[in-house]
Amino acid sequence: MTERALSTIVLAGGHSHRLGQDKALLPWRGRTLIEYIVSQLKAISDDVLVITGPQVRYRELVDVPIFADAIKGAGPMGGLYTGLTHARYDYSFVAACDMPLLSRAVIDLLREELDGSAWAIVPKIADYRVPTLAIYHKKSLSVIERLLAHGRTSLQELLDAIPTKIISEQKLRQVDPALRSFFNLNTPEDWEELIRLELSAP
């Protein structure tokens, strides 16, 4: 099958309350985390978007389109809605900005599962579907609008409401044995663990 073109959406609208500082601005591999994530995604897509929550941020750091949430106060669901609205292609790979160990092999695995049957391709780790490292189709927009109109902001509810293909942990471990791609950064302890993982990497 011909490889489908993908837009890529970076969700960077969190408040980083538990971490105590803006996680997107943390230093990572010689640049800020937001710069690093954007550079990684530029390698797989010519349409990279950053969604930054209530206000536009990081313009001085990245040279890609940046958007504030079109619908305020809706969390990651609002960020996804904004990204899909502006995405150039039908399918978008979505990643949170706090997943610095994201593997190209995991992205490629999700992309290979695109066969037109699902509106979302979503990894599942243990019993948890990971909605912020997944692929979504623009068709999801109408369902997101309906959920938000009823005050529903859970991405898990979105996955229940659209045709979704689940990628098992077993399959994910074939390309990312330690599931490093799914390490996300929320607390100072997470940051310390991330540094340990980086220093111990081969």
Asked if the structure places residue 2 within a domain, the reply is no
Complete DSSP assignment for 93-155? EEEETT-TT--HHHHHHHHHT-SSS-SEEEEEETTEE-TTEEEEETTHHHHHHHHHHTT---H
- 21-46: per-residue pLDDT in tens? 788 888 889 999 999 999 999 999 99
Distance set, CA 144 to CA 67, 76, 126 (Å): 18, 11, 26
Asked if the structure places residue 49 within a domain, the reply is yes
- CATH number, domain containing residue 153: 3.90.550.10
Sign of CA dihedral 139, 153, 71, 123: negative
Asked if the structure places residue 146 within a domain, the reply is yes
Query: What is the distance of C-alpha 108 from the center of its chain?
Result: 14
pTM confidence score: 0.93
Asked if the structure places residue 1 within a domain, the reply is no
Q: What are phi and psi of 98, to 5 degrees?
A: -105, 25
**Structural domain count, the chain:** 1
Q: Is residue 10 very low, low, confident or very high in pLDDT (cuts 50, 70, 90)?
A: very high
Is the pLDDT reported for residue 202 higher than 80? no
Q: Which domain holds residue 179?
A: 7-200
Find the mean pLDDT for residues 108-126: 95
